[in-house]
Amino acid sequence: MENVFSHHISGISFMTQLSLLRVTVRRLKFQLLAHRWWDEQGEYSALHSMNDIRVPFIRDTVLNMGNTYQRGSPLSGIKILDVGCGGGLLSEPLGRLGASVTGIDPLEENIRVADQHKSFDPVLAKRIQYKSSSLEEIVEESVEMFDVIVASEVVEHVADLEMFIKCCCQVLKPGGSLFVTTINKTQLSYILGIVVAEKIAGIVPEGTHDWEKFVPPEELEQLLEANGFSVKTVNGILYNPLTGSWSWIESTSINYALHAVKSGSQAETSQTEPLSEMESEQCSATAGTNV
């Protein structure tokens, strides 16, 4: 009998198909919760409070890289891609800082919620655009268009992490920044991130995460460095469910935030070596929802 693990359909391995199926199941769960994005006491309360550290992290890092500061709009002139934007929880504060933000998410329900919420603020309505699309579609339309890419609570959901990184590199300008927040793959992260957060405390909906897809910072750094990025910062972050707040810590054993910069040499590679058709197809499955 033919080994099932070596069996391929349409050029995609069985294991890749299984991974894509798991991503699809999680998307369906996110779809059911789409209307709850802006409930600060609901399922996404931890993401609301995460803005207290991830927004300054992005803002200060971008400003420290030499961009001209404009009072009241420190990120004015900066083009940001928010991958897996969900209901726009991170896109909106970045827009308020003056950035031009494009938020993408594969779920139309999430985009409808995000569009509706930004419409309450005329300033944000001009600075933010949302698209129900895959990262692959952004690659086709927006090669080297963005100064900053944010993938917050996304990489632990993607079907193919290396393809996700390649797609990000394609749309990022040379010298542009990639910001990631995600969960380490440790015994402690399983206990706190799965057992406590999902099954006991209900901080996030049960089934949101798959521990097997959690990403150690060392693995993420290696993939980034191998695909034209230079990793600048890796910091640990910790959520306190009692206070509902996040803080910076030295340990990266649970959650962590990472900043990487696209090198100029990769820009040359991206111009001469575009993604193959199969890579683009796999990329289209990686624009998950940040949760």
Q: Which parts are annotated binding residues for Mg(2+)?
A: 153, 156-157
Q: Is 200 helix (H, G, I), strand (E, B) or coil?
A: helix
Q: Is 286 helix (H, G, I), strand (E, B) or coil?
A: coil
Q: Which structure tokens are listed for 189?
A: 């992260």
Would you tell me how many other CB atoms lie within 10 Å of the CB of residue 221? 17
Residue stretches of the annotated binding site for S-adenosyl-L-methionine? 54, 84, 105, 152
Q: Which structure tokens are listed for 71?
A: 């009072």
Q: Helices marked H in 104-207 — which ranges?
A: 108-118, 122-127, 135-141, 161-171, 187-190
Tokens 């199969």 correspond to: 278
Rg (alpha carbons) of the chain, rounded to whole number: 18
Would you tell me how many other CB atoms lie within 10 Å of the CB of residue 245? 14
Residue stretches of the annotated binding site? 54, 84, 105, 152-153, 156-157
